Homo-oligomer: A and B are copies of this chain.
């Protein structure tokens, strides 16, 4: 049984979850090559839709995602990747999770403090 890469133009949706805390850290997309590299290397690798190329998460920041378990859903167009996150956060804006804004009273509000200084890690490139 293989993943269905056809439904979304060659990509599957990849939900990244901290294997220890259960926190959802980010959502990315994988083409067939990114998925294969994720499995083979044990580090989460995505396909960047904006840059149109493979993207080893943590390549520049060092904040790699060590794969612990991979699941797929009933229609096989999404994967759930449980990881150990190396580093204080996965978000290039400095937060532990990319989901750092919560809906409250009709507005999106930042609901947590930064876990690290993104300028120090990404050198202002983020």
Query: With the chains together, A123 CA to B92 CA distance in Å?
Result: 47
- Quote the shortest CB–CB distance from A33 to chain B (angstroms): 17
Do residues B102 and A74 form an inter-chain contact, with CB atoms below 8 A? Answer: no
Contact (A71, B102) CB under 8 Å given A22-B23, A23-B22, A49-B7:
yes
Interface residue A101 (Cβ < 8 Å from any Cβ of B): yes
Task: For A101, give its contact among B26, B39, B72, B92 (CB under 8 Å).
Answer: B72
Residue total for A at the interface (Cβ-Cβ under 8 A): 36
Interface residue A1 (Cβ < 8 Å from any Cβ of B): yes
- Quote the shortest CB–CB distance from A26 to chain B (angstroms): 7
Contact (A99, B111) CB under 8 Å given A7-B49, A27-B78:
no
Q: Which residues of chain A in 13-51 are interfacial with respect to chain B, using CB atoms and an 8 Å cutoff?
A: 13, 15, 17, 21-24, 26-27, 39, 49
- Closest residue of B by beta carbon distance from A102: B71
Interface residue A103 (Cβ < 8 Å from any Cβ of B): yes
- Quote the shortest CB–CB distance from A8 to chain B (angstroms): 8
- Quote the shortest CB–CB distance from A81 to chain B (angstroms): 10
Query: With the chains together, A20 CA to B98 CA distance in Å?
Result: 20
The 6 closest A-B pairs by CB, nearest first: A22-B22, A73-B98, A71-B99, A27-B78, A70-B103, A80-B99
